[in-house]
Amino acid sequence: QQRVQRQSLGNTKATEMATDGVHVDSAQSKAMNLQVLKRQGADVMEIMDTASHVVMYEFDILYTLAT
């Protein structure tokens, strides 16, 4: 059984996703994620890979050199 779920993507028009209640089609998920990334940076062209967990660090070389 598949049902159609509508998700709003900010300023983009609502996108339909086929879902079995838990899993989302990976191509549709990748397309939605790419739209979100493009809103953050216009130079984003594609998603190379995905991960279930991501950590982002900010490195400040000036602070490191001062200590």
Per-residue pLDDT of the chain (67 residues; tens, 9 = 90+): 444 444 444 444 444 445 556 667 888 888 988 999 999 888 989 988 888 887 878 878 887 787 7
Strand, coil or helix: 44: coil
- 61 DSSP 8-state letter: H
Neighbours of 33 (CB within 10 A): 12
Strand, coil or helix: 8: strand
State the Cα–Cα distance between residues 67 and 65, nearest whole angstrom: 6
Q: Residue 25 has what pLDDT? A: 81
For residue 30, give the nearest of 12, 11, 45 by alpha carbon: 45
The pTM (predicted TM-score) of the whole model is 0.45
Q: Residue 35 has what pLDDT? A: 92
Any idea where the domains of the chain sit in the sequence?
A: 3-66
